[in-house]
Amino acid sequence: MNHTSIRRLVMTALCVALGVVLPQALHAVPNAGNVLLPMHIPVLLCGLTCSWAYGLGCGVLTPLMSHLVTGMPPAAVLPAMVCELAAYGLISGLTAKFIRTGRRAADIYIQLISAMLIGRVIYGVTNALIFRAGAYSMEVFLTAAFVTALPGIVIQLVLLPALILILEKARVLEPTAAKT
């Protein structure tokens, strides 16, 4: 295993751990999971900085580990969350590999917004067709994915690009880590 693989594996493990701890740290805030989206942040960070494979793994492992350790998300919501977070990790990693404008900040925003939108669509489709078939409407989807989650979306759009640029500047992350 080379140095880059070890670094990515450690970063992925850190992101999974953050995905378990961060929701618990925000437990006192009413409806924090649906409003602030604390599990999304480390999964998106992992995909954007480590690659699609690590992002996908992080997206699957984070809700599973959180459920096993804390009981959250509840079993009824767990399958949809696994699909949603897996999509975030996968898509953020793929967009990080292929989207390059020549301006790092622009790249990060395009990659992040693409992953956020596609992940939400996958969440809506899986709920509508599989996990909540017949009980899931466009109104419920739009409210949950965009209205209720608006504070979390804003946090992601502000925090993640700044964090990635700071970590790259400090050489904690390689600037092209997600590009290979």
First-to-last alpha carbon distance for the chain, in angstroms, is 16
Q: Which of 117, 111, 83, 77 is CA-nearest to residue 95?
A: 111
At 18, the pLDDT band (50, 70, 90 cuts) reads very high
Structure tokens at 50: 């480590």
Gap between the Cα atoms of 54 and 43, Å rounded: 9
pLDDT tens digits for 50-103? Answer: 999 999 999 999 999 999 999 999 999 999 999 999 999 999 999 999 999 999
The pLDDT of residue 113:
98
The pLDDT of residue 177:
43
Residue 124 has pLDDT above 50, yes or no: yes
Q: Are 81 and 73 in contact (CB under 8 A)?
A: yes
Residue 42 has pLDDT above 50, yes or no: yes
Gap between the Cα atoms of 78 and 16, Å rounded: 15
What does pLDDT average to over the chain? 94
The pLDDT of residue 176:
56
User: Whole-model pTM above 0.85?
Assistant: yes
Who has greater pLDDT, 175 or 12?
A: 12
The pLDDT of residue 153:
98
